[in-house]
Structure 1
Amino acid sequence: MPPPTAPHRRRRDTPPPRTANTEADVLRGFLDYLRTSMADKVDGAPEPGVRTAAVPSGTNLLGLLHHLTWVERATFLGERVTDWQATFRAPEEDGVEEVVARYRETVDRANAVLDSCTDLAAPLPGRSSPSTRWALTHLIEETGRHAGHADILRELIDGSTGR
């Protein structure tokens, strides 16, 4: 694959978070770190590149953030998703600003739910499962995986790198 045509732009790399020593603080600290990295990677990405599939699967940068919004909603807010594949495509009428804002608002709502969780072994409020610990760990894995994809996609779009 040829190198990006845009000049290489290096962003400041943000180190992992320093958190308190409780399990909840470490899990939430790393999840918030990944969430911020993901939103920042998409914020300011140019159209139409942000929607352009750079791999045969059709994955695109804006779609990844739209998908993660639905993962947050399903996991922490109890919203039902019937077609996960459809979550990888942001609505055509929504631009980068709208998708990023929706993700950040969803994260704020999810954090409000997490603020009420005092026992990591207990299920999320209003649910019989999974445990809060499992939900946090799953979101760290899911967000981290897609943040890595986003790093590559953003660099292919305009040469931007860094967390």
Structure 2
Amino acid sequence: MFTGSRRDDTPPPRTANNEADVLRGFLDYLRASIAKKFDGAAEPQVRTPVVPSGTSALGLLNHLIAVENATFLGEKVTDWQATFRPAPQDSVADVVARYRATVDRANKVLDECADLGAPLPGQGRSEPSPSVRWALTHMIEETGRHAGHADILRELIDGTTGR
């Protein structure tokens, strides 16, 4: 499986000192890192599970689309396990484009949220909305965790490393 190595690391962002800019800066950094992980990723390897859990690299990105939608856009997810499986007809480019579009929509919501302690806008939510601060922190944790998983899966697929 390992065919070589390419390292392309990007350091974490240097953001302003206010809390909102730091949180959004790190989240955007992680979002860009995971999207970049799919540059040059070969089909079908990127969708093929390479670990016993059945997780694939593309499945991780598909899952993050659902998490962004649920967290920032209030969309209901009924089967979280299903979010780890991209549709068979979806190409890598399709899933990456859908991820970037979802991030853009989420950022538009965040652009309207000046108070980190205020609840996120509640469109489509059946339960109380989390605070903007909680949502940003959760997405940093979620995206960072899965970006690390994607790093390992991509390296197992073709040896590509780095952010």
Alignment partner of 1:90 is 2:90: no
| Displacement after TM superposition at 1:119 (Å) | 0.5
Identity of aligned residues (%): 76
Q: Following superposition, which runs of at least 4 residues in structure 1 exceed 3 angstroms of deviation?
A: none
TM-score (norm 2): 0.95
**1:27 and 2:56 are equivalent in the alignment:** no
The amino acid that maps onto 1:101 is: A
Cα distance in 2, alignment partners of residues 96 and 44 from structure 1: 9
- The farther-off stretch of 86-95 and 39-48 is 39-48
- Aligned pairs for 1:63-142 (under 5 A) are 63-126=59-122, 128-142=128-142
1:22-55 CA distance string (max 9 Å, x none): 1000000000000000000023210111011111
Distance (whole Å) between structure 1 residues aligned to residue 44 and residue 142 of structure 2: 25
| CA-atom RMSD in angstroms | 1.0
Unaligned runs of 5+ in 1: none
Residues matched between the structures, number: 159
Please state how far the C-alpha of 1:6 moved relative to its aligned partner. Answer: 1.0
CA distance in 2, matches of 1:5, 1:131: 43
Equivalent pair of 1:43/1:100 in contact (CA under 8 Å): no
Q: What's the TM-score, normalizing by structure 1? A: 0.95
- The gaps in structure 2 that reach 5 residues or longer are none
